Structure 1
Amino acid sequence: MELRKLQKIVVDALEDIKAQDIEVINVTKLTSLFDRVIIASGSSNRQTRALANNVQEKVKEAGGEVLSTEGEESGEWVLVDLGDIVVHLMQPAVREYYNLEELWSTTPTRRGKLIAANEAAARE
């Protein structure tokens, strides 16, 4: 399936279930394993599981393939591997703690700049 089409299907599926703070990150320059990381928040375990289930259903309906899913038992962080796209569905506290946006971003985020400034100040 064409990448843009798959990305649209995933984002639409997330919006259908009212995902919060949907981020699409192009990681083609960072890894050859996949092209996009999509991160979204759900307000509860039930919602993150529902988001993952909806993504899987919509991708399959469109003829795409779901390679694997992990984390559905707890629902705090559910990962859906679609090959070219990896979807992370997280509760807000888990998302803030792991801060995947900064990990996968090609440009430093404001938070990253603040951390670097604090580390530099601590060395002085």
Structure 2
Amino acid sequence: MDSKQLVDLVAKACDDKRAEGIVVLDMKEVSLMADYFIICDASNERQVQAIAREVKDVAEEQNIDVKRMEGFDQARWVLVDLGYVVCHVFHRDERVYYNLEKLWGDAPQREVKL
């Protein structure tokens, strides 16, 4: 599975758990960390955890190695590292505060296929 297919898979997993404001940033030209960032949010901690868990489960079903998941217990900003794709699941308040879309403003946004 290439990174574009993985982006679509992860974005769909986020959408299936009712993530809000799903944005995909193409990071290939601006960062060495990952090819894509997927950013989304939820209104409460339980939903943040449900989204992150779904991303992890869907990736593992496709035999994609989840490198790490950070922030799950606090559920304010959960980072799911899938190698070439990194999914950021925010609590709505934290997303506004950190504003990754502005921080990585040089990265073009990619259309999300759900």
**TM-score normalised by the chain length of structure 1:** 0.83
What residue is the counterpart of 1:72 in the other structure?
72
How far does residue 70 in structure 1 lie from its aligned partner after superposition?
A: 0.4
What residue is the counterpart of 1:61 in the other structure?
61
Of Structure 1 and Structure 2, the greater helix share is in: 1
How far does residue 23 in structure 1 lie from its aligned partner after superposition?
A: 0.4
Identity of aligned residues (%): 36
Q: Which portions of structure 1, spanning 4 or more consecutive aligned residues, are displaced by more than 2 angstroms?
A: none
What residue is the counterpart of 1:106 in the other structure?
106
SS state of the match for residue 79, structure 1? strand
**Inter-partner Cα distance in structure 2 for 1:34 and 1:20:** 22
How far does residue 105 in structure 1 lie from its aligned partner after superposition?
A: 2.0
**Inter-partner Cα distance in structure 2 for 1:65 and 1:49:** 19
Of Structure 1 and Structure 2, the greater strand share is in: 2
**Inter-partner Cα distance in structure 2 for 1:32 and 1:18:** 30
What residue is the counterpart of 1:113 in the other structure?
none
**Inter-partner Cα distance in structure 1 for 2:75 and 2:32:** 28
How far does residue 91 in structure 1 lie from its aligned partner after superposition?
A: 1.0
**Inter-partner Cα distance in structure 2 for 1:90 and 1:10:** 15
Which blocks of at least 5 consecutive residues in structure 2 are unaligned?
A: 108-114
Q: Give me the CA root mean square deviation.
A: 1.0
**Inter-partner Cα distance in structure 2 for 1:45 and 1:77:** 9
How far does residue 33 in structure 1 lie from its aligned partner after superposition?
A: 2.1
What residue is the counterpart of 2:11 in the other structure?
11
Which has the higher Rg, Structure 1 or Structure 2?
1
How far does residue 93 in structure 1 lie from its aligned partner after superposition?
A: 1.0
**TM-score normalised by the chain length of structure 2:** 0.90
1:92 equivalent in alignment to 2:99: no
SS state of the match for residue 11, structure 1? helix
- Residues 82-108 of structure 1 show CA distances to partners (whole Å, capped at 9, x for unaligned) of 00011111111110011000111217x
What residue is the counterpart of 2:112 in the other structure?
none
What residue is the counterpart of 2:31 in the other structure?
31
**Counterpart residue identity of residue 22, structure 1:** I
- Residues 55-91 of structure 1 show CA distances to partners (whole Å, capped at 9, x for unaligned) of 0000111121100000011101111000001111111
Task: Point out which structure has higher relative CO (alpha carbons under 8 A, 6+ apart).
Answer: 2
